[in-house]
A and B are shown apart, each in its own frame.
Chain A
């Protein structure tokens, strides 16, 4: 197992080098000039040229890349051109906000998705099954953007139960204060994943329930609850975990839209603004960070398999 993890960690290096080169090239080869955006429409040619020189944008591309990557390795992620702040602390703060939202949404999606899947599978073709799977279909198809706006109008404006947007009450911070602010964006973000997980759990559960060892368990006279939750579920969860792993990527990237609708100060809004402003150091740093996280999450998912299913081993 340890060997496997080490191997996977080593494989991370070429992946991240690839990502860094790709991001760098896409940004630098696409048209648009950070100096122009930064100085606005009223800057003169001289000041634009001076800024380009100061930012090193006049150097050959490979030199710019090596300069950036060596600095990154030394822990200097550069300074955001547009926001005029150090990139690394900025990315970390924003990532914390996104991660909080994604984890919260993930918990909702997994808890209620798996629950709905089990109910549907054990009561196949019942009214509950049909209702839940209909809701899952709807949830899967709803655009997050639209759902978010509708939830804001219902729960924020009409009922006035929850805050419409933002992360904290004015002038305050802290997790406790954040809770109320998490619900609407968390739910909007979770809906599609919840639906997908519910459908996956249902079909996987149905398959497992029909297997011999379940019949054996029932024949032994075990109560249905035990049969479902300790015998069937564990095996039914393997494909679900795969879906969950993929959903984490979705939660991190799908968060962009939710973040914009709900004014959530996460990494998605940071990245979108950065791309629009051609803020090279910021976007490169953000993507490198997200890519690293993504690779690690996938590694964790793979390890979890082995714990869930003793038949899987990585030796």
Chain B
């Protein structure tokens, strides 16, 4: 300590304070280093939060919701058969490098991701390409300001897909110039433009005075990766940074009481669940699945482990997504009922089930602690589980094996919504057509009635009818109990009080374009 004191004095003597900057900036503490700033290659929050300030897509999610509004397209038309989407593009928009935005740029951006023959297909790895554009047959340039996208089958949520990160428009000239290095040299049309990226240190963006949406109020955004949660928190409290994510649940109350800080929360498009293998004993018996659901005290997990960083889930669909209903079978904690159901099903209590758990992972909250709570709840009704912890990459690999190869009976996973459409949760996670390796129904749930409803709902475009179909599907699904839904994670950020007008977005990206500093 003595040594440290001496060093502090020495340095304090030789360095003055940095001159105060006259322009405004917001320093954001991220949980890790962004891996890419190319929207077509984004797969994690840290990257998308730093990148998405620089881009626009043809269609935008409205502020604070997943409703759609015009973006780089001013209007659009859908053919009666639901196969052709014609977009009128906004005039006079330029990319940050001066390249004009037009129909060719739209075609270039989509083809680059989905066409292996495209000359710039090898400029990146596009994890979301099939997901976003898998149904696209062809992109046709009608004229400079009109583009037509032809689908190979009707797909009602397609407009929502056109608002996803991966549908953002990158300057074709920049991709041609930088090739693979477009990852580190992003050029979009959005409210902020790229200044520099010092790896491991910071990503700096500055305001785009010529943005078609109007220039933002803040001059500069600086994204700093700070891996350790406590460090990030200390930085905010010390006043060195302005905005943080990933607040440890235990510190949340203290931050809310801090007079200089504000905490902003919003329920996210997220569901955390335990999936049960519906094709194998004992979970091929609906009574055992229901028993597991009753036996787990979800409320206690939300209150005691998540401590207000998640809201109790009643349904696989998060409440922020349209067509949500809580008029579904209620699985409130009821160990008595669980025991009854198990007895009825003739459950063999000598059985020990391997419960697969990742050590950490995107959207997984506190996977191990939550699993331990679940384990002891299950033990109380006579279901013995053995927690198998795996590291995230290995874990995903194991969970997405085809049904004949999968020996996983029970595992945790979570889903983060993409396009704000119920299809994005219900069809993708629970349709019988989506068993791995086709999709993400990794509990191998299959109910022909549900499949029919979900299939129809993704084809028709009548919104009211879609709501009705999805609500029917939700009821059937929850009665079958293929998943134990535990919570919907709340997005929580903390920032200095002087930041005004910040609103979280359900997709998890940040929008600083309308934010001002007092």
Q: A residues bordering B, Cβ < 8 Å?
A: 31-34, 36-47, 50-51, 79, 82-85, 90, 93-94, 97, 108, 112, 149, 151-153, 155-157, 160-173, 176, 179-180, 183, 187, 260-263, 265-266, 269-270, 273, 276-278
Contact of A265 among B7, B134, B199, B239 (CB under 8 A): B199
For window 373-432 of chain B, which residues contact chain A by CB distance below 8 Å?
390-394, 396-397, 400, 418
Asked if B25 lies at the interface with its beta carbon under 8 angstroms from chain A, I say yes
Asked if B471 lies at the interface with its beta carbon under 8 angstroms from chain A, I say no
Instruction: Given contacts A47-B127, A85-B184, A170-B222, list 12 more A-B pairs with CB under 8 A.
Output: A32-B397, A36-B393, A40-B128, A41-B440, A44-B134, A45-B438, A85-B183, A94-B200, A155-B4, A163-B240, A168-B198, A260-B227
Q: Are A263 and B3 in contact (CB under 8 A)?
A: no
Residues of B within 8 A of A153 (CB): 234
Residues of B within 8 A of A51 (CB): 125
How many angstroms between the C-alpha atoms of A263 and B240 in the bound complex? Answer: 13
How many angstroms between the C-alpha atoms of A45 and B15 in the bound complex? Answer: 56
Q: Are B130 and A46 in contact (CB under 8 A)?
A: yes
Residues of B within 8 A of A170 (CB): 25, 27, 202, 204, 222, 224
Residues of A within 8 A of B125 (CB): 38-39, 51
What distance in Å separates the Cβ of A175 from its nearest Cβ neighbour in chain B? Answer: 12
A-B complex: 8 closest residue pairs judged by Cβ atoms: A265-B200, A40-B43, A39-B127, A32-B393, A45-B437, A32-B394, A37-B393, A84-B183
Q: Are A32 and B4 in contact (CB under 8 A)?
A: no
How many angstroms between the C-alpha atoms of A2 and B51 in the bound complex? Answer: 54
Q: Are B8 and A162 in contact (CB under 8 A)?
A: yes
Residues of B within 8 A of A42 (CB): 43, 127-128, 131, 418, 440
Q: B residues bordering A, Cβ < 8 Å?
A: 3-4, 7-8, 11-12, 14-15, 18, 25, 27, 32-33, 35-36, 41, 43-44, 116, 124-131, 134, 180, 183-184, 198-202, 204, 220, 222, 224-228, 230-231, 234-235, 237-240, 362, 390-394, 396-397, 400, 418, 436-438, 440
- For A31, A93, A94, which residue has the most chain B Cβ atoms within 10 angstroms? A31
Residues of B within 8 A of A85 (CB): 183-184, 199
Contact of B7 among A46, A187, A262 (CB under 8 A): A187
Given contacts A37-B393, A260-B228, A263-B227, contact A167 B201 (CB under 8 A): yes
Give A89's nearest chain B residue, CB to CB.
Answer: B199
Q: Are A157 and B35 in contact (CB under 8 A)?
A: no
What distance in Å separates the Cβ of B5 from its nearest Cβ neighbour in chain A? Answer: 9
Contact of A41 among B224, B235, B362 (CB under 8 A): B362
Contact of A278 among B183, B237, B393 (CB under 8 A): B393
How many angstroms between the C-alpha atoms of A209 and B478 in the bound complex? Answer: 81
Given contacts A42-B128, A170-B25, A265-B199, contact A37 B228 (CB under 8 A): no
Q: Are B222 and A171 in contact (CB under 8 A)?
A: yes
Residues of A within 8 A of B397 (CB): 31-33, 36
Given contacts A41-B440, A155-B8, contact A36 B130 (CB under 8 A): no
| A-B interface pairs (CB < 8 A), number | 179
What distance in Å separates the Cβ of B231 from its nearest Cβ neighbour in chain A? Answer: 5
How many angstroms between the C-alpha atoms of A41 and B45 in the bound complex? Answer: 13
How many angstroms between the C-alpha atoms of A94 and B225 in the bound complex? Answer: 15
Q: Are B227 and A183 in contact (CB under 8 A)?
A: no
How many angstroms between the C-alpha atoms of A51 and B116 in the bound complex? Answer: 12
Contact of B8 among A36, A41, A161, A270 (CB under 8 A): A161
Residues of A within 8 A of B224 (CB): 166, 170, 263
| 28 A-B pairs (CB sep. < 8 Å) | A31-B397, A32-B391, A33-B397, A38-B125, A38-B127, A41-B440, A42-B43, A43-B128, A44-B134, A83-B33, A83-B35, A84-B124, A94-B199, A149-B230, A152-B231, A156-B240, A164-B231, A165-B231, A165-B234, A168-B201, A169-B18, A171-B204, A171-B220, A180-B11, A183-B8, A263-B231, A269-B227, A276-B393
Q: Are B11 and A179 in contact (CB under 8 A)?
A: yes
How many angstroms between the C-alpha atoms of A33 and B14 in the bound complex? Answer: 50
Residues of B within 8 A of A45 (CB): 436-438
Q: Are B237 and A43 in contact (CB under 8 A)?
A: no
Residues of B within 8 A of A269 (CB): 200, 227
How many angstroms between the C-alpha atoms of A187 and B237 in the bound complex? Answer: 22
Residues of A within 8 A of B362 (CB): 40-41
How many angstroms between the C-alpha atoms of A14 and B237 in the bound complex? Answer: 51
Contact of B131 among A36, A44, A112, A149 (CB under 8 A): A44
Give A163's nearest chain B residue, CB to CB.
Answer: B240
How many angstroms between the C-alpha atoms of A157 and B44 in the bound complex? Answer: 30
Given contacts A39-B127, A164-B231, A278-B393, contact A265 B3 (CB under 8 A): no
Q: Are B130 and A261 in contact (CB under 8 A)?
A: no
Residues of A within 8 A of B11 (CB): 162, 179-180, 183
- For B27, B200, B202, B222, which residue has the most chain A Cβ atoms within 10 angstroms? B200
Residues of B within 8 A of A164 (CB): 231, 234-235, 238, 240
Give A158's nearest chain B residue, CB to CB.
Answer: B238
Residues of B within 8 A of A37 (CB): 392-393, 396
Contact of A40 among B3, B44, B116, B235 (CB under 8 A): B44
How many angstroms between the C-alpha atoms of A112 and B5 in the bound complex? Answer: 13
What distance in Å separates the Cβ of A237 from its nearest Cβ neighbour in chain B? Answer: 20
Residues of A within 8 A of B116 (CB): 50
Residues of B within 8 A of A83 (CB): 33, 35-36, 199
How many angstroms between the C-alpha atoms of A50 and B27 in the bound complex? Answer: 38
Q: Are A97 and B18 in contact (CB under 8 A)?
A: no
Q: Are B200 and A152 in contact (CB under 8 A)?
A: no
Q: Are A47 and B129 in contact (CB under 8 A)?
A: yes
How many angstroms between the C-alpha atoms of A34 and B11 in the bound complex? Answer: 44
Residues of B within 8 A of A44 (CB): 130-131, 134, 437-438
What distance in Å separates the Cβ of B312 from its nearest Cβ neighbour in chain A? Answer: 24
How many angstroms between the C-alpha atoms of A156 and B134 in the bound complex? Answer: 50
Given contacts A38-B43, A173-B198, contact A165 B3 (CB under 8 A): no
Contact of B238 among A160, A172, A180, A261 (CB under 8 A): A160
